[in-house]
Amino acid sequence: MRSGYLRKLASLLVIFAVSIFSVGVYAEDEIIDNYAYYGFEPDLITNYISSGKKLGFVRISIELMVKDPEDLIALEHHDPLLRAAILEIMGSQTADKVKSLTGREEIRRECFDTVNRLMEQEVGRPIVVNLLFTKYLYD
């Protein structure tokens, strides 16, 4: 019972820390960065590597943060490429990594790096500032 409480508390602390570091920079009455978000629709669903007879799956919602709202057009155009890359990353993960907080962060970082590498190949520059898992369900 206590470990469930500690997990929830740790999750809330991680969300709080991410939200603090994701806030835009403001000057006197002027917004310096004009962030925008691109969400994959529908959610991404895939299997992960599990041991035993039970088939494990993960369902995630992802939001990509960009500095310039005009970059949303490029993300929408390359949605299938980015979706396939993220599904490939998720499908190659082990159950232990999918189910742990540190593993989840490693997966998020790998997805972020891959998305930016692909966007750099396609449009000539990395455009994603942050990648957020807004829903992360596994079984």
pLDDT of residue 50: 86
d(CA 53, CA 16): 37
Query: Residue 5 has what DSSP assignment?
Result: H
Q: Tokens 């829903």 belong to which residue?
A: 135
Task: Say which residue the tokens 């994959």 belong to.
Answer: 40
- Residue range 78-99: mean pLDDT, rounded: 96
Residue 28 has pLDDT above 90, yes or no: no
**pLDDT tens readout for residues 38-70:** 999 999 999 998 887 888 999 999 999 999 999
Q: Which pLDDT score, from 0 to 100, does residue 20 have?
A: 47
pTM to 2 decimal places: 0.74
Segment holding 76, helix H or strand E: helix 71-77
For residue 7, pLDDT beyond 70:
no
Cβ distance 135 to 59 under 8 Å? Answer: yes
Average pLDDT, the chain: 85
What does the pLDDT read at residue 136?
95
Write the pLDDT tens digit of every residue in 91-130: 999 999 999 999 999 999 999 999 999 999 999 999 999 9
Kindly state the percentage of the chain with pLDDT values over 70: 77
